[in-house]
Structure 1
Amino acid sequence: MRIAIYSNLNAASNRVATSLREKIEQSDTLTIDGLNPEIVISVGGDGTLLSAFHHYQDIIEKVRLVGIHTGHLGFYTDWRDYEVQELIDSLENDDGQSVVYPLLDIKVNYADHSPSDFGLALNESTLKQISGLMVADVFIKEQLFESFRGDGLCISTPSGSTAYNKSVGGAIINPTLSAIQMAEISSINNRVFRTLGSPLIISPDEWIKIIPNTNARTILTCDHQVISTKVISSVEYRISKRKVKFAQYRHTQFWKRVTNSFIGEVDSGD
């Protein structure tokens, strides 16, 4: 089996990555291959795993991701830094098991008619105005839904619903559901301007189109990376036909993962 190791640069992650590499090189069934891997092991935290996803997104259907966390408990990471040998044992006994998560397609059209950009997000995309109030029309499947005024909008995947989306009041969605979500960021609601003020969950046969009503520059992000600060004429979001796969050696059940990340140990009351 061909394996790539994608690590951040801190000392703890480097130690784990070095140990992984040594054990893989000693294995009869595992090899290091950073160009054409079957498994990508992320060593660090959720940010490192997102970076690994984008690094390999051109071949994302051909790989499975595994996360090792070297700090506090990560949402995407099933393994800890002291479990390297246990992970190696699982890799050597791999039978192709995986869990699949939906992704977000992003299509950007620019006001200067430059070529459209296309993006792919594992967590979310946000659209904000660089300064002042963002004013934009929001369409759902080509029908005008609302005229938005506020700081911005966040469109997330189910797995990304626990990230920035949650911090702006969005709902948490189980990633076994094929859906995307739009949450408002500090919308203005008064006698003159009115938005729904609640997160929207969009079905697989629908899409969201946002058309800014000003010529002001905006910040468009994909998984917290800025991908454009140009004047945008429209951004279209839909559920991608592509999927991301995680190797399911010891994949933590989603709601258990939510409990571990946000609530901690729960007293059963017994």
Structure 2
Amino acid sequence: MRVAFFGKNFDHSFTHPIQLFIEHLKEKGVEIIVEESFSKFLEERMKDTFDVFSGSLKKSQADYLVSIGGDGTLLDTVPFVRASNIPVLGINTGRLGFLSNINVDSVLKAAEALINEDFELDKRSLLEVEVEGLELGENNFALNEVSIHKKDTSSMITIHTYLNHTFVNSYWADGLIISTPTGSTAYSLSCGGPIVMPGSQNIVLTPIAPHNLNVRPLVIPQKEELTLTADGRDESFYLTLDSRSYTVANNSKVTVKPSSFCFSLINLKDQNFFSTIRNKLHWGVDRRN
């Protein structure tokens, strides 16, 4: 078995559990490879050397990819595995950790789960984006959300939205979020959107600070195609795919549709969507006691 690692620099307090995790895998005969830019940091912390990789991973290179960081780090793993659909396990050294939901005190349990292939695979859908006059290349996808947002102005923008060529609405707002079920607990939730279960095959249109307070989030089937254009007092607007932002000229057509590939997230056997919601959002907790 071969396991790839990608991550961001982490605090010294996480060094020991991460070292335990890697050493346990190596003791069981697992080969370790580390993303090139992360390897320099990890080698310094672990006082060890690793084989490295760069760019997208092939199935022949790794069986699994481990993300060390927060949810943003895990989102950054998608370009590495998109073609191969290599499953990803997220160890949380960040903050909330909806996707990177393995706490550092469970690293040995997670290592055993990988070695014995004793885990649940959670298939997550993505969105694919095309922009008139802008080449996005191979990074034209989003696991959490696609958002359109005003740029360099305090004024609203107007986002004209069509579903399969049927007019939906012109949103007068600071922006609009097109969220997957995975992203429904992220930016969309903070703007009043609903929580949507993974696998429900829906997406959510959530306006950002709409001028008309009667405009509410809208849930639509993910299989449909959205077409959007935006205009405002500025000559351009921001288009964001997860953490990647682009400047787009006003009235350029933006097309959002289901991606041709999915993302495989590893959950331990005692984890599921509802346990994550309860733990991260403190559902069922009475703070008065």
Coarse TM-score class (shorter-chain normalised): 0.7 to 0.9
Task: Give the SS at the match of 1:23.
Answer: helix
8 A contact 2:159–2:175 mirrored in 1: no
More strand by share: 1
Q: Could you say which residue in structure 2 is the equivalent of 1:86?
A: 109
- CA distance 1:220–1:73, change in 2 (3 Å): closer
8 A contact 2:176–2:207 mirrored in 1: yes
8 A contact 2:127–2:180 mirrored in 1: yes
Looking at structure 2, the residues matched to 71 and 115 of structure 1 have their Cα atoms a distance apart, in angstroms, of: 32
Deviation for aligned residue 1:78? 3.3
Where does 1:4-43 land on structure 2 (aligned, <5 Å)?
Answer: 4-11=4-11, 12-28=13-29, 30-34=30-34, 35=53, 36-43=61-68
- With normalisation by structure 2, the TM-score equals 0.79
Looking at structure 2, the residues matched to 25 and 47 of structure 1 have their Cα atoms a distance apart, in angstroms, of: 27
Deviation for aligned residue 1:147? 1.6
- With normalisation by structure 1, the TM-score equals 0.85
Looking at structure 1, the residues matched to 270 and 87 of structure 2 have their Cα atoms a distance apart, in angstroms, of: 12
Letter in 2 for 1:80: N
Q: Could you say which residue in structure 1 is the equivalent of 2:77?
A: 52
Match of 1:140 among 152, 159, 163: 163
The 10-residue stretch of structure 1 (18-27 or 130-139) with the greater mean CA deviation from structure 2:
18-27
1:231 and 2:249 are equivalent in the alignment: yes
8 A contact 1:41–1:67 mirrored in 2: yes
8 A contact 2:20–2:108 mirrored in 1: no
- CA distance 1:59–1:37, change in 2 (3 Å): farther
Q: Could you say which residue in structure 1 is the equivalent of 2:240?
A: 221
The 10-residue stretch of structure 1 (170-179 or 30-39) with the greater mean CA deviation from structure 2:
30-39
Return 5+ residue gaps in structure 1 as ranges.
Answer: 191-195
8 A contact 1:120–1:222 mirrored in 2: yes
Match of 1:121 among 139, 142, 149: 142
Q: Could you say which residue in structure 2 is the equivalent of 1:193?
A: none
Match of 1:107 among 130, 149, 161: 130
Q: Could you say which residue in structure 2 is the equivalent of 1:157?
A: 180
Looking at structure 2, the residues matched to 59 and 149 of structure 1 have their Cα atoms a distance apart, in angstroms, of: 37
Letter in 2 for 1:19: L
Where does 1:248-263 land on structure 2 (aligned, <5 Å)?
Answer: 248-250=267-269, 252-263=271-282
Looking at structure 1, the residues matched to 25 and 217 of structure 2 have their Cα atoms a distance apart, in angstroms, of: 45
Q: Could you say which residue in structure 1 is the equivalent of 2:201?
A: 178
Letter in 1 for 2:240: T
Deviation for aligned residue 1:151? 0.4
8 A contact 2:18–2:104 mirrored in 1: no
Looking at structure 1, the residues matched to 135 and 122 of structure 2 have their Cα atoms a distance apart, in angstroms, of: 35
- CA distance 1:251–1:221, change in 2 (3 Å): farther
- CA distance 1:210–1:170, change in 2 (3 Å): same
The total of aligned residue pairs comes to 255
Return 5+ residue gaps in structure 2 as ranges.
Answer: 35-52, 54-60
Deviation for aligned residue 1:265? 4.7
Deviation for aligned residue 1:225? 2.7
8 A contact 2:92–2:102 mirrored in 1: yes
- CA distance 1:71–1:97, change in 2 (3 Å): closer
